Amino acid sequence: MNKYIEIVKTPEVLGGKPRIKGTRIGVRVIGEMVRRGDWTVEEITSDEHFLDLTRDGVEAALVYYDDHPDEMETLRAQREASFERLRERSRARQRSDM
């Protein structure tokens, strides 16, 4: 990295999940996009959804992502559990509407 980019956690932004300072872009999201091979660093930094991101920011997120695998797995599991709760509520509403 050419420039020091901080990864921060603040309770009022993204529920305290690690993110690139100055953005609302979470480390886990960037890490998964790149490590799964869905996106390259260049694609992310040139995409209109990530206008605030620089190559240094993406690289900082990847370093944090790789250095904290247990935390990333916990965040991934929490996200999946949240989606499952939403699916269950949706199914319950559908059954009650019948």
Distance CA 98, CA 81 (A): 26
pLDDT of residue 15: 94
Please determine, for residue 18, whether its predicted confidence score (pLDDT) is greater than 50: yes
Q: Sketch out the chain's domains with CATH numbers.
A: 7-69 (1.10.10.10)
pTM of the model as a whole: 0.83
Q: How far is CA 78 from the centre of its chain?
A: 12
Mean pLDDT of 14-19: 96
pLDDT tens digit sequence for 59-96: 999 999 999 999 999 999 999 999 899 988 887 777 77
pLDDT of residue 95: 72
